[in-house]
Amino acid sequence: MRALDAGEAFVVTRNGVAVGELTPLRRDHFATKASVVAAFANVPPIDLKKFRKSLETIIDQDSTPRG
């Protein structure tokens, strides 16, 4: 359990055949503001009108009940 807590994963076997995997739970990781800004630094600006039009073609906003 200490090794698992330290991040180590294990393959569980039955008669020498792998049947499962024991892995540590994912811990939440938070990104710093600087790393997020750096990751999106070279992203082109979003054309909001074009973006909305694109969304409207994907999202069904018809309120008529489906039957």
Q: What is the pTM of this model?
A: 0.39
pLDDT at 7 over 70: yes
Distance CA(38)–CA(33), nearest Å, equals 9
Distance CA(12)–CA(22), nearest Å, equals 7
pLDDT number for residue 27: 78
Q: How confident is the prediction for the chain on average, in pLDDT? A: 89
User: Which tens digits make up the pLDDT trace of 23-43?
Assistant: 999 877 888 999 999 999 999
pLDDT at 67 over 70: no
Question: What are φ and ψ of residue 22, in 5° steps?
Answer: -110, 115
* Mean pLDDT, range 12-20, rounded to an integer: 96
Q: Which residues lie closer than 8 Å to 23 by C-beta, 6 or more apart? A: 4, 9, 10
